[in-house]
């Protein structure tokens, strides 16, 4: 760790990078929460929740092989 900290001490304003990383993570997280809870995705999620139980697309041979 001494090797890394030695190089990081030479960089001006190195404390700025963790703040940028936190902001990027927060914006990504807030965007994902907004996307998950917006009303237009309700039909998409309803379709996806029944997708695993839907056997109409599978052939009987595929079902027997599993």
- Residue 65 resides in a domain: no
Q: Is residue 32 part of a domain?
A: yes
Which of the four pLDDT bands, split at 50, 70 and 90, describes residue 32?
A: very high
Is pLDDT above 80 for 34? Answer: yes
Residue 64 in domain: no
Q: Is residue 63 part of a domain?
A: no
> How many structural domains are present in the chain?
1
Question: Which pLDDT score, from 0 to 100, does residue 65 have?
Answer: 56
Contact 47, 41 (CB under 8 A): no
Q: Cα(66)–Cα(55) distance, rounded to whole angstroms?
A: 13
pTM value surpassing 0.75 = no
Residue 61 lies inside a defined structural domain of this protein? no
Domain enclosing residue 6, as ranges: 2-54
Q: How far apart are CA 57 and CA 51, in angstroms?
A: 10
Q: Is 59 contained in some domain?
A: no
Which tens digits make up the pLDDT trace of 5-22?
676 667 777 677 888 999
At residue 23, does pLDDT exceed 90?
yes
Q: Is residue 36 part of a domain?
A: yes
């Amino acid at each position: 760790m001494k090797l890394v900290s030695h190089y990081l001490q030479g960089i001006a304003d190195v404390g700025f990078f963790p703040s940028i990383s936190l902001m990027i993570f927060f914006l990504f997280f807030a965007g994902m929460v907004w996307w998950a809870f917006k009303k237009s995705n309700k039909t998409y999620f309803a379709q996806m929740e029944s997708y695993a139980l839907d056997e109409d697309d599978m052939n009987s041979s595929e079902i027997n092989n599993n």
